[in-house]
Amino acid sequence: MKINLLLILSLFCHASCAWGQTAYVTIMDRIRSELLSQASNTTTLDNSVTGTLATLQTNGAWPDVNYAYSSTSYTADVHINRVKTFAQAYTKSASSYYHSSTLFTAIVNSLTYWNTADPQSWNWYHNQISNPQRIGEILILLDTVPQSLGSLRTALLTQMNRGNPGSQTSANKLDVATHFMYRSCLTANDSLMQYSVDQVFYPLMLTTAEGIQHDYSYQQHGPQLYFFGYGSVFVEGETKIAYYLRGTSYALSGTRLSVFSNFVRNGFLKAIRSRYIDYGTNGRSISRVNQLAVGVTAHLEKLKVLDTAHIGEYDENIARLNGTQPPGYLLPSLHTHFWRSDYTLHHRTRYLFGVHMTSTRTAKQENGNGENLKGYYLSDGSTHIAAAGNEYYNIPPVWDWSRIPGTTVPYITTIPVRSPWGVNFGATAFAGGVSDSLYGMSALQFSDYNTQARKAWFFFDNEIVCLGAGISSTAAQPINTTVNQCLLNGAVSANVNGAVNTVANGTYSYNNTLKWITHNGISYYFPAGGQLQLSMQSQSGTWQSINNGGSSTVQNMDVFQLWFNHGTSPTNGAYVYYVLPGQNMSTYDTAAVSVEQNTANAQVVYHRTLNIWQMVFYQAGTFHKDSLTVTVDRPCALMLRNVGTPNVKVTVADPAQSSSPVNILLDLPGISQTRELTANLPSGPFAGSSVQYLVNSQTPVYSPAAVITAVADAYVRGGSTYGSVNYGTASLVLKQDATVSYTREIFLRFNVGALPAGTSQIKLRMYVNYANTSISSVPWVAQYVSNDSWTESGITYNNMPAATSAVDTIMGRAAGNFAEWDVTSIALSQQSTDGVLTLKLVSALAGATTDAIFNSRESSDSSRRPMLVCSTGNTARIMTLEKTTDTKTGISIFPNPAGAFIYVNGAERWQKAELRDAAGKTVKVKQPDGRQQFEISVNDLPPGMYLLILSSKGKQLVKKVVKM
């Protein structure tokens, strides 16, 4: 029995080993086949080998290759690439060099030199990615040849062992893991193979780090949109490896295949028109020649084998990409806002329209390695308008980089170069859009370069309506809004003062006289006129001017430029224009769309034919038109469809991604009474995405809560200079600072003796008129003050009464929002005593960008004065609390509520953890010393609410913790 068992185990092990060897042979055969297909033209291959073989020196080096280390350039990889070409010719049966002993000797000599010299680059990419990959490819090509490399093979395998895929992310992880997989096959190392495959496919998941985002956009080098460039490398690499591994035990399948399929089909391919990409999606690669076109059909052919459920969709894309069918062939109408990357795509059969924004959450299109030297304005609301697809192909060297299409910026003649890589973030949190997957709108509260503008895009079928309002600037240069700057193609016609004519090449100025202009099948309509400038002439430049590695040959191209000139130092400027792809302006119905409001507070557009209202509110407010009234209690983007019917579809999003609910009051024709919709918005990685509601007769009828306004309010400021100054009539400023003279605190007094009968919930409501950039991480604490003797005209920092106890704490809100604290208990208790309630507001986090300003009771808008909102039952609007596990930051705090300990777990290496009580007093400090997981004892703390403040280099995170 024992002998039989040993025999069975022996046979099993033999079979497993044989299978493993067979798998490696199969995988390497596939790799070899692909490498040889890269050299499909045998004549070209042989000519290349003949030329480089003739100049190879006896020591295995080439005289024209610089092998010395340089801190700025690297060309030694020319050597290893030539050796790869040798290996292709040596193993290609159709080549005249097939199994040539002379060529094999050259291969050995050149590889020996490479192994000995081991020329290092200043760029880690060559050392840890491209050179090890090239060695692996050469060894795989030579693995089945009659001659042997002997010990040289072992030495080269050792040299390949560079880089660590575990320390890289996304495309870089894939690239390093690829040569690990090559080495696994060459050494038949099962454990290394499994590790390599795990690392290759690890990025095929949804993440908030670099890689595939939850909206199927792609980010690399921080939160930077990178569908192409790194995204192209990622798609090519994952497809290639999955194709090598198909049918083996390492094959891509299940959830990871599903994620990859969705990313390619619903993200990557969507930013292409014909074979041309949106220029805002490929990072610094925009400065490389031919990089605004892609050749991905070979990848899609492989995906048809790997992802058989979507063969038809891949075939449709292939037909559009290779030009056998027009750009709109079987292209479905769709509207997508990629909320993780502040990017919008709108597709119709006739066109593609892209909007690229940045916020405080996302990075601008980067420069680095001397590339994209002029892309200063690329991410500031740029627009990509494509019908044929090639409207911007290879235009970058001649572009006027101060007039990027869609942007509203100062016109500068010398383009600054930002800090390299993805470290330059947007300056505003409010950048995003609302979408129902067919229609949508996007908005950007732009504030940069000493220039402010409210910019919005409204997307329909035949029109994209582009609005700008509140355009103000203190910059020294004139402010331009660029309608488009693309390659000039064909005749241009325009309606000027009612006369339609063909426009000859040249430059033109239109002072409210240009009604519309048509170029290359796209019309631009100006219902409000404007100071418009047109340039149609040759522009010149070099690739080297935008990329240090580019050609110095001067490029000349005819360019179409159209822009608004808002002048120098504009105040509350505006613009309106429609982009109308494929529309005949002699028959287009200009009354189909109406701009109903275009101000710094709100922008609203109505499409009569589609019966769609789209609106963006930059602050809490009301829009009213005829029998339609919409009121929101904080900034948001809305879309209303089917107004005037019993069922109105309302789509809501928060471009600032605060995740707090939006309370909407709706007076709608066809639905009686005012309806109240509380739109609970997504959080974590889905913050900024849209939600849909149906408003009808079942939607709750609005029942207004009773309010009690403040009878006195003031803020106080510390320090020897300001401590005795009264600020009783000013707007209310809140700030904590390490220097007391910058600290401001707010006092409020209410008469609560006559609270409405049955009041069960009382909220202090304050309108945020201004908030600095770090406000979302600032705790705002409401405190009870028992001493009511202060006066609005007499209180100062030096004589202010002391706080008695903490009442409630919320996190800071952006400007345009209402902030609410629950003060129910203390208000009801004061009702039964002296009927007077004094509250004090303090900031619990110091910092230069943590200040906020609230409207005071002197505000001309009575709805924005400090007030107590009183309600019965659960009718009061309740702000949502943070989750214990934050999927956006990856930080977990448990248990919460806590008993004796709280445990912190996350990806960040924290240097300091601080617990503060509700009054902002530090009660416990822990030094995690860079650990990602640690515990904090809270056993000695009394029950209550605490703030956990986590700090690392350049980062701070605030979370609520409840001690039971």
Q: Which residues are catalytic?
A: 221, 230, 284
| 3-state SS class at 954 | coil
Q: Rounded CA gap, 556 and 939, in Å?
A: 74
CA-CA distances (angstroms) from residue 474 to 378, 447, 479, 567?
Answer: 21, 12, 10, 11
Strand order in the sheet with 885-886: 885-886, 891-894, 901-905, 933-937
Q: Residues 440, 434: contact at Cβ < 8 Å?
A: yes
DSSP H or E segment with residue 265: helix 254-266
Q: Rounded CA gap, 225 and 515, in Å?
A: 36
Q: Rounded CA gap, 753 and 52, in Å?
A: 96
* Number of helices and strands in the chain (H, E): 14, 51
Q: Residues 121, 81: contact at Cβ < 8 Å?
A: no
Q: Rounded CA gap, 242 and 246, in Å?
A: 6
Q: Rounded CA gap, 917 and 903, in Å?
A: 18
Closest alpha carbon to 418 in 450, 373, 380, 381: 373
Closest alpha carbon to 290 in 629, 555, 686: 555
Q: DSSP secondary structure string, 736-796? A: B-SSGGG-EEEEEEEE-TTPPTT--EEEEEEEEEEE-TTGGG-EEEEEEE------TTT--
Instruction: Say which residue the tokens 């700090």 belong to.
Output: 951
Strand order in the sheet with 478-487: 408-410, 478-487, 555-568, 531-541, 506-511
Q: Rounded CA gap, 755 and 826, in Å?
A: 13
Task: Say how many CA atoms lie within 13 Å of 272 toward its Cβ.
Answer: 29
Tell the burial category of 674 from Cβ atoms under 10 Å away from its Cβ (0-12, 13-18, 19+): middle
Q: CB under 8 Å to 139, separation ≥6 — which residues?
A: 149, 153, 156, 157, 182, 186
31 φ/ψ angles, rounded to the nearest 5 degrees: -65, -45
Closest alpha carbon to 365 in 270, 225, 543: 225
Q: Residues 690, 478: contact at Cβ < 8 Å?
A: no
Q: Rounded CA gap, 438 and 573, in Å?
A: 31
Q: At what angle do helices 297-306 and 311-321 cross, to 10 degrees?
A: 170
Count CB neighbours of 663 within 10 A: 18
Q: CB under 8 Å to 793, separation ≥6 — which residues?
A: 726, 728, 729
Look at phi and psi of residue 618 and say left if phi exceeds 0, alpha if psi is from -120 to 50, else beta. Answer: alpha
Q: Which two tokens stand for residue 762?
A: 């009382």
730 φ/ψ angles, rounded to the nearest 5 degrees: -90, 165
Q: Residues 649, 436: contact at Cβ < 8 Å?
A: yes
Q: Residues 226, 365: contact at Cβ < 8 Å?
A: no
